[in-house]
């Protein structure tokens, strides 16, 4: 089964300094039909005004992945990490038993845009952790995060994988789906997935499939989540 989650049907939040789109229920946006998908709990698409950001706030028992699409984030947390996260790099913060952090737009003149993803861990507690890494762009699939850190990926506290898919126009990619759930989030370009045309910001929930076929009608970049049933 392939279920399309259209970008313009996502939850919305507008606070002047922040524009956010929620693929799943988050904050004041509540939709019982979209509470998450398998262990994937949150995909927020955020635009932050110059110099603005999120004051220090707490998390626990959540794997939090951030990908900057435009600009850079200044990150500080209660574990002593002070980092700049530039566009194109991935950050994975394991909240564990509890961590506080702040995130600000590093620029005083340019808007920041980033994706923040929450994945529920398969075990609770433990010390907070911080990972940050640049992955070279290449055609096809790049493994970004996995439970065992294989192929130099970030280590995720869940039996799941996050992959980046880069597909040139008129090319296609096939990914095995048997015995798993998959979620696709399109960052840029245009894809044909089954009978659906997928545009930036759209998501596709995949279940009870043998394979997932992605056909690009434009140069495309997407995130692909391989999730437990």
Q: Note whether 177 and 164 are within 8 A (CB).
A: no
pTM above 0.85, yes or no: yes
What total number of domains does the chain contain?
1
CA distance 190 to 214: 10
What Å distances lie between residue 124 and 27, 191, 228, CA to CA?
22, 37, 17
For residue 139, the domain's CATH number is 2.60.120.10
CA atoms lying within 13 Å on the CB side of residue 58: 6
The one-character DSSP state at 37 is B
Q: Note whether 180 and 37 are within 8 A (CB).
A: no
pLDDT tens digits, residue range 166-193?
Answer: 999 999 999 999 999 999 999 999 999 9
pLDDT score recorded for residue 99: 97
What Å distances lie between residue 99 and 46, 56, 60, 85, CA to CA?
21, 10, 6, 18
Residue-level pLDDT, tens digit, the chain, 229 residues: 999 999 999 999 999 999 999 999 999 999 999 999 999 999 999 999 999 999 999 999 999 999 999 999 999 999 999 999 999 999 999 999 999 999 999 999 999 999 999 999 999 999 999 999 999 999 999 999 999 999 999 999 999 999 999 999 999 999 999 999 999 999 999 999 999 999 999 999 999 999 999 999 999 999 999 999 9
- Reduced to 3 states, what is the DSSP secondary structure of residue 74? strand
Q: Which two tokens stand for residue 50?
A: 């110059």
Residue 32 gets the label, from left (phi > 0), alpha (psi -120 to 50) or beta, of: alpha
- Reduced to 3 states, what is the DSSP secondary structure of residue 201? coil
Which residues constitute the domain of residue 28?
2-227
Beta bridge pairs of residue 92: 65, 131
């Amino acid at each position: 089964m392939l279920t399309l989650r259209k970008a313009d049907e996502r939850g919305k939040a507008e606070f002047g300094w922040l524009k956010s789109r929620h693929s799943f229920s988050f904050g004041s946006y509540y939709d019982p039909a979209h509470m998450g998908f398998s262990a994937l709990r949150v995909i927020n698409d955020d635009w932050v005004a110059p110099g603005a950001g999120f004051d220090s706030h707490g998390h626990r028992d959540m794997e939090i992945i951030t990908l900057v699409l435009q600009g850079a984030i200044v990150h500080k947390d209660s574990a002593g990490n002070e980092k700049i996260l530039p566009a194109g790099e991935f950050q994975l913060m394991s909240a564990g038993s509890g961590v506080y952090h702040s995130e600000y737009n590093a620029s005083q003149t340019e808007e920041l845009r980033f994706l923040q993803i929450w994945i529920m861990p398969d075990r609770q507690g433990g010390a907070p952790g911080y990972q940050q890494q640049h992955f070279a762009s290449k055609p096809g699939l790049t493994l970004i995060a996995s439970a065992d850190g294989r192929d130099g990926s970030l280590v995720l506290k869940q039996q799941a994988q996050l992959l980046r898919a880069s597909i040139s126009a008129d090319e296609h990619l096939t990914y095995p789906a048997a015995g798993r759930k998959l979620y696709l989030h399109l960052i840029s370009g245009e894809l044909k997935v089954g009978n659906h045309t997928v545009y930036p910001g759209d998501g596709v929930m995949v279940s009870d499939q043998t394979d997932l076929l992605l056909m690009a009608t434009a140069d495309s970049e997407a995130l692909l989540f391989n999730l437990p049933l």
